[in-house]
Structure 1
Amino acid sequence: MAEPGARAVAGRAIVSTRAALAALLAVTLSAALAPPASAAATTPRASLTDIEGDVMCVSCHEPLALAQSPQAISERAMIAGLIDKGQTKAQIERALVANYGPTVLGRPPARGFDLTVYVLPPVIVALGLAALAVTLPKWRRRTRAAAASPQAAGAALDPADARRLTEDLARSDQ
């Protein structure tokens, strides 16, 4: 049987492990829910290559940067015209959505049902970490207890079974 002092040390180790996992979970969630760094107060001038990477061709459903259809060419012309007028990236994306619908965006907007695309992955990671934090200590205790138990070595054979095993092994060697 373990000493009371050893039990206290093991209890503190479990608590510190859980605290570390909780801190890791908090950092993961805060990083996932933090606004992107591009949300700065000053918005740089929009560029065609930047916008092409974020929007799709509505006819072939490929990123606009890769699409070569006539529809893609007309979308690029519209974007170039809006850039020449001095519109920001957000204004251009709103104009594209107004003309072609929300399927023109490469990433769904973060509202309504589409919000699940952004919320679900961190939630799944958090649930997985929580499941590990709960089950790993139980598994480790169970394997330690199984290794320490006298039945771990296996049950002893009765004399008749031992004799039969010896005879079978001798027969198989011949």
Structure 2
Amino acid sequence: MNTWIILNADLRIAMLASAWGAGSLNVITAEQVAIAACVIVPIGIAVATLADRMHLLELGDDTASALGVRTGGTRLTLIVLGVCLTAAVTAMAGPIAFISLAAPQIARRLTGSASVTLTASASVGALLLVCSDVLAQRLFAPTQIPVGIVTVCLGGLYLVWLLIQEARKR
């Protein structure tokens, strides 16, 4: 369906949609950032207010319930908020692959802990995205490539490295 829409659209719109599909920060305007911020900031505040309950859920449902957390409602709320945050940033920049898969694993290795905090994971994800965007802008300068292409390449290399590390442990 996406391909059909792109083939039948105006050339300029088709090019923008194609760049969005690869995950691109090149065509984002200040107006889009402002609109996304109006959605992201309130949802981020809601997630921050639920952070203590999120950590209690890591202890298991029985322990969290004993400590006064409504596990079902809290889990559902966190899932809905996570989907809303993901939808907001994906609508703006397109699907940028591998950031959400690699960032928590890298953050866990950097912090040396068994679990990953939301702040560490988000910070590493932001750093990965900025570094990938700089590479996307400078790699084939003056032509800018979509950042999603860089993250797919880096994510693939990271996945291969992880597989090799796991194979060496066995």
Whose RCO is larger (CA < 8 A, sep 6+)?
Answer: 2
Normalising by structure 2, report the TM-score: 0.25
Normalising by structure 1, report the TM-score: 0.25
Q: Specify the structure having the higher radius of gyration (Cα).
A: 1
Of Structure 1 and Structure 2, which has the larger fraction of its residues in helix? 2
